[in-house]
Chains A and B, each alone.
Chain A
């Protein structure tokens, strides 16, 4: 497919407002100094750097941002938020982009998305993480049955992986958390 060029029709003026509202951050304050990208441990693995993403949000380039792997590669380490001279919580913005991409069903990094889904599915069911159950289900979904089997075996023989699933009390009180609208 021929390489697409971004033109005026790709500008979505509502994108900036939407990201600011969902993240609670003033994206418009960013003057693209690059400090976030300079401290980002995952920068080498990101197709677009954090400061570039910030400028693209300001410009209203919804599709390129939401279809970028960058938010999925974020380690949530918070270094960007700590060092931003305008006090913007860039980590929160990455979270928002992940959430928006997820809701729009944009599957740029399916293995990462599937991990998060299985983790949350496990805690929705048991109230606490059932590590073994999640690992088996996840490996099945990814088509990698032996992924991390080495580490799993080491942890198991040290008695640190339980065969039985955990069970948090009072399910009727917390189950509703997972059943909210849009969840």
Chain B
């Protein structure tokens, strides 16, 4: 085996071994601080007030400048498309999903999540470019390249399921991720449906 493989396999060793070996100073210990004088809620309230005043001043000075936070949630896909500057086509539902959550990350990536209750089922992403935007850096037992309707995609997963699929076409990158895994057939169908 390669030595890099051994180094990679070290990542998931027992938590207690990692904690025991943690060097001093890696995590700040709670001590006296400004935060200790006030409750967390009061600090949060002050932060909101300061941020609101900051927003007011900025909008007074430059009303056409938008403040973008890393994750912004939207009620509809159409609103997300306006924020990101491109369109996305995805299935309305997936399996027995009862709700979808739409958000835009950093103003340039649309993410749509399907869930049923507390169970996350599927996450779909689209962004301009050709990089892997899945955010899934897990190592899976299976990884292969498939071609579906002239789209070449990389699918990865364990136990014969697909936990992550990435592909790019027409100047956009796409990904779908599922912690519990979907079938290869479901992945293939989704790849053809997502634009």
A and B are interacting partners: no
